[in-house]
Chains A and B, each alone.
Chain A
Amino acid sequence: MSKLVVLSIGPASSVQDGGRFGAQRYGLPPSGAMDRLGLAAANCLVGNSLFGAAIEIGPFGASFMARDGAVRLALAGAPRSADIAGRPVAWNSSMTLAEGATLKLGMARGSFSYLAIEGGIAGEAMFGSLAVNARAGLGSPHPRPLQAGDELNVMAASGTAESRIDLPAEVAGPICLVLGPQDDEFGDSVDLFLDSAWKISPTSDRMGYRLEGPVIKHLHGHNIVSDGTVNGSIQVPGNGLPIVLMPDRGTSGGYPKIATIISADFGRFAQTPAGTAFRFKAIGMAEAQAEARKFAELLRNLPDRLREIENFDLNIEALQDANVAGAAVNAVDAGTWQIAPNDAVTPD
């Protein structure tokens, strides 16, 4: 057994996996990775099941050390500068951290990165998942975000040759959505919603991303009788500023939902940094479901995208990919990823 020691880590960093499904009827949120492709790519690189537990790292830097043996790990999701003992390492790649060596990660270009560990993370699953949801006291090995000093028991590095993974080029277009279930509560405001540029507020978290933009008016007031929510539900509370519901969302809510982000674009939306302008685009159901099937196929075929790294030191292309240190997001500060307490959502 080796240990991966968390030397430093920012807020919004926790153990996450594919999520916890089947208990939303009892009020239990699914939790799980904000960016499923990032999680799956990291796991794929070290031979884990695609939606096994990994470390989801929030926008800030972090550092880790291997103890009691070497640790083989992989990095994917929002890219950042990364080095082991001062030598830059490539993103979307696996690597072996020698005993006593330190892996340092900079700020994310995006929001969430995934650090998967060969053999996965040991813990006690609840409803089939290790995903952390601190509010519900769920998650393993700790039912809370990770903090400096945490140690994870992990498998000793196998010595397998390192790999990189070739992912499709990032798409920069609008975030696609399907209107409804309550778009009829908004009348002409639907056009304003679709025609406007939006930014994600710094007071966002794994429950919800608050959007900044024009006020979206309701036709019949902002209270509806609660109904169920999904990842990507866009609800509009009384102040007219939409909130996109994320994996730690309440399972039901009493604000009208104008639209829902398509599942294939959810991870890309989750990775949109606070303060960056973006737009939505409404598409039809048939197109949305075709995108969902394409995304499922991309995930299923990830192992075909693995390439063995023959000479780790000469992997120039990957090193250039990793050189993203200049891309820190200025909208992010120490208050980011903490919901302001007076914004708390209450039951309906």
Chain B
Amino acid sequence: MAALLSPPRLLPSGDSAITVEFSRHIDDAANRRVLALDRRLVRAPIAGVTETVPTYRSLLVHYDPTQIDFEALAKKLAELALAPVPPTENARRWRIPVAYGGENGIDLEDFAKTLGTTPDDVVAQHVASVYRVAMIGFSPGWSYLSGLHESLQMPRRQNPRLLTPAGTISIGGVQTGIQCLAGPSGWHLLGRTPVRTYHLHRDPIFLLEPGDRVMFYVVDAKTFAEQDRAAEHGELIAELMAA
């Protein structure tokens, strides 16, 4: 029997967007409801809704207030949000290579030391889990993954770095992530992937969708460099696994 779902909070984000908040915390159950509502809005669009942005715990719904007002849209979203989450999703499963440690993952050694373990054990644990893309945000292609093993959770760095490399695979708190573009980050840098989650001159431009599953596997620095060149020229490198 399906558990009774709690109603989300419908919060105004100005006059042209509503935040449908399912939880205030990082919460896998809430995230599944976010993605389910997102899919419902794709399958049965509401006139006036222009764009949706799923996050860990809320769905931001952009709309045109000349077509639908807050009250009317909030009512529809509240109803849709109470529909049960479909039990099985046909999620895509990706295999993504990572070169861990060394110049590709400058925090791996310290990270292992802080945990009282070895870099090899950290890597073995990191590639052992199946992650779910909970949201994509902050910058193009920055994919936040849920499903990080408890033993690898660690608070973010005290001092964020102003520039971290493109393709960085890192850990921040209870999350791990794939960062596509070079940029600032306060997470622990474990490795790099040649896979571009965002590539303007490739079809598809964005590789991952919220809800996709991701598994990592180890490649050495030389393989990384070769794959990196191929990825720059538009190859996916990431592989879809059979369902």
Contact = CB atoms under 8 A, between A and B. Distances in A.
B19 A227 contact: yes
A21 B21 CA distance: 22
A22 B206 CA distance: 12
Contacts of B96: none
A21 B50 CA distance: 8
B138 A250 contact: yes
A225 B138 contact: no
B53 A228 contact: yes
Interface string A168-201: 0000000001111110000000000000000000
B180 to A, nearest CB: 8
How big is the A interface, by class? 35 or more
Interface residues of B, number: 55
Contacts of A178: 12, 14-15
Contacts of A292: 15-16, 65-66
A301 interface: no
Contact of B137 (A27, A179, A288, A341): A27
A344 B184 contact: yes
A25 B136 contact: yes
Contact of B70 (A182, A285, A346): A285
A291 B15 contact: yes
A159 interface: no
Secondary structure at chain A's binding surface: helix, strand, loop or mixed? mixed
A277 interface: no
Interface in A123-154: 126, 135-138
Interface string B32-53: 0000001000000000001111
A246 B21 CA distance: 23
B17 interface: yes
- Tell which of A228, A288, A291, A293 has the most Cβ of chain B within 10 Å: A228
A233 interface: yes
Greatest chain B CB density within 10 A among A229, A253, A260, A346 is at: A346
Contact of B19 (A181, A251, A262, A342): A181
Contacts of A296: 66
Contacts, number: 166
Given A227-B21, A228-B13, A293-B65, A135 B53 contact: no
Interface string A15-28: 00000011111111
Interface string B116-151: 000000000000000000011111111010000000
Contacts of B216: none
A257 interface: yes
A132 B199 CA distance: 16
Contacts of B19: 180-181, 227-228
A253 B56 CA distance: 11
A226 B56 contact: yes
Nearest to B34: A227
A180 B12 contact: yes
Interface string A217-237: 000000011111111110000
Nearest to A184: B11
Interface of B: 11-17, 19, 21, 23-26, 38, 50-60, 62, 65-66, 69-71, 135-142, 144, 160, 162, 172, 177, 179, 181, 183-187, 198, 200, 206, 210
20 contacts: A23-B206, A25-B51, A27-B136, A27-B140, A226-B138, A228-B19, A228-B58, A229-B13, A230-B13, A230-B62, A250-B138, A250-B139, A252-B135, A252-B137, A252-B138, A264-B15, A344-B160, A346-B185, A347-B179, A347-B184
